[in-house]
Amino acid sequence: MAANNLYKIKVLMPADYQTWFEKIKNFLEEYSKTCPQAQLKNYQTEDWEKSQSSLLKVMYLEKRFDKGIVTIAIDSQQNVIAFAGSYEINSDIVYLAARACVLPAYESDHIISTYLIPYQQKYFCNKYLYGCVSFNTDDYSRRVMEAFSKRDKWTAGKVLRHNGIQYYPFHFIKDQTFFLNNCQQLVAYCAFSAVQSREGFVSKFRQ
């Protein structure tokens, strides 16, 4: 799937993960050189099998994304330049943009929010009631959340279609944290049905 002349978007099913192992590992080695220090443990590739939280361990040993998909952006040489995983939280909620990251040279293109998340929404919209993303409570993550919440296509209050891509708006919960992946996190959710209720999302999350 073409995004522009510089890169393309690719959806990886679980059966594809092993084929892309080396390219994803190479991407993480490059990304980890400049990623925020607080996030580094999640992207390290050295001794990744022994790490408690490395993306490679989560994806290939714990198989967290086997009940989901991975969306990536690749350049003309088939090198990965952006990554976003996904997985099932429960039968009603799917987690989107898990461990999402992009190389610095492409940050200004907003690849994750413009392409990787919408492709995941499209894939899951008939399988779950809600999708959600989360943010850690550190200052860096809060700034990311604030920037994300100010983008019109994610806060319009209705489903938008732009350049052939459909965006389900997110509702940002900034006054409550949720226990995800062994820590408290801030959450934003999107509703795939006509019902867009914070109470409905919270009740499904806690069931």
Q: What CATH number is attached to the domain comprising 67?
A: 3.40.630.30
Please check whether residue 17 lies inside any domain of the structure.
yes
- Asked if 111 and 82 touch (Cβ cutoff 8 Å), the reply is yes
At 149 the three-state DSSP class reads: helix
Please check whether residue 14 lies inside any domain of the structure.
yes
Provide the pLDDT for residue 207: 67
Please check whether residue 49 lies inside any domain of the structure.
yes
pLDDT at residue 107 greater than cutoff 70: yes
pLDDT at residue 2 greater than cutoff 80: no
Tell me: the pLDDT tens digits for 144-182?
888 888 877 777 667 788 777 888 889 999 899 999 878
* Confidence class for position 66, pLDDT limits 50, 70, 90: very high
Question: How far apart are the C-alpha atoms of 139 and 114, rounded to whole Å?
Answer: 24
| Domain interval for residue 165 | 7-206
Please check whether residue 2 lies inside any domain of the structure.
no
pLDDT at residue 195 greater than cutoff 80: no
Number of structural domains found in the chain? 1
Provide the pLDDT for residue 156: 65
Q: What is the mean pLDDT of the chain?
A: 90
The closest alpha carbon to 10, from 86, 146, 119, 89, belongs to: 119
Which of 34-38, 90-94, 146-150: highest mean pLDDT? 90-94
Top pLDDT among 5 and 176 is at 176
Which of 26-30, 149-153, 176-180, 193-197: highest mean pLDDT? 26-30
Please check whether residue 143 lies inside any domain of the structure.
yes
